[in-house]
Amino acid sequence: MSFIKPTTNSSPFATSTSWTNIAGASTYNQSWISVWTDAQNNTTATIDSGEAISMTSGQNTTNVSRYYYDNHNDYALSGHLYYTSGQSLSESSDEIICVDNAFLIYGADQMDSTVSRTHIIKVEP
């Protein structure tokens, strides 16, 4: 049994990538993905074909907030961005998740780029 499928370049990591909010992409193999930041400091990524699982986990620099991917805004798909001195009586996972071909994050305008990350793992060619 294996959870990993053969790839064209012998490394499972070659088909995953990550970015930090605002700072832009940090990636091993970026040929199949584009990443940018818009005027609202939201980060968007698109892939060249197929679909991918995207998982973002983060923390805010100030204030607490619920955040989520565009078109995947169900509370069950949302995450909780806390900050270290904040007070929040409701808590949840700080990770959001979706499967799509484009990934725009809402509610993360104060995301701390030094401790936040996204994994995008392609699941469909």
Partner 1 sequence: MTYLPTSVSNNTAIDIDSLTILKNSTTDISVSAGTVIPWGSAVQEYGTATYSVSSGVITLPSGYYYLVKSALGAYTSLGNLSASTISYQFYDTGASSYIGRRGWLAWQEYPKLSGGDEYALALIDASSASKTIDLRMLTVSHTGITVDSTAEQYIYAGYSRCEIYKWS
Q: Is 66 in the site for partner 1 (CB under 8 A)?
A: yes
Q: Alpha-carbon distance 74 to 22, whole Å?
A: 25
Question: In sequence order, what are the residues at sequence separation of 6 or more whose Cβ sits closer than 8 angstroms to the Cβ of residue 1?
Answer: none
The region of 20-28, 36-44, 97-105, 109-117 touching partner 1 under the rule CB under 8 A is 97-105
Q: Alpha-carbon distance 26 to 117, whole Å?
A: 10
Which member of 18, 22, 41, 53 binds partner 1 (CB under 8 A)? 53
Q: Is 50 in the site for partner 1 (CB under 8 A)?
A: yes
In degrees rounded to 5, what are phi and psi of residue 90? -105, 130
Which member of 21, 33, 42, 82 binds partner 1 (CB under 8 A)? 82
CB 79 within 8 A of CB 55: no
Q: Is 109 in the site for partner 1 (CB under 8 A)?
A: no
CB 41 within 8 A of CB 106: no
Q: Is 65 in the site for partner 1 (CB under 8 A)?
A: yes
Which member of 20, 43, 56, 78 binds partner 1 (CB under 8 A)? 78
Q: Is 122 in the site for partner 1 (CB under 8 A)?
A: yes
> Which string of DSSP letters, residue by residue, matches 25-37?
EE-S--TTEEEEE
Q: Can you give the binding site for partner 1, defined by CB under 8 A?
A: 1-12, 15-16, 32, 50-51, 53, 64-66, 68, 72, 74-80, 82, 84, 86-99, 121-125
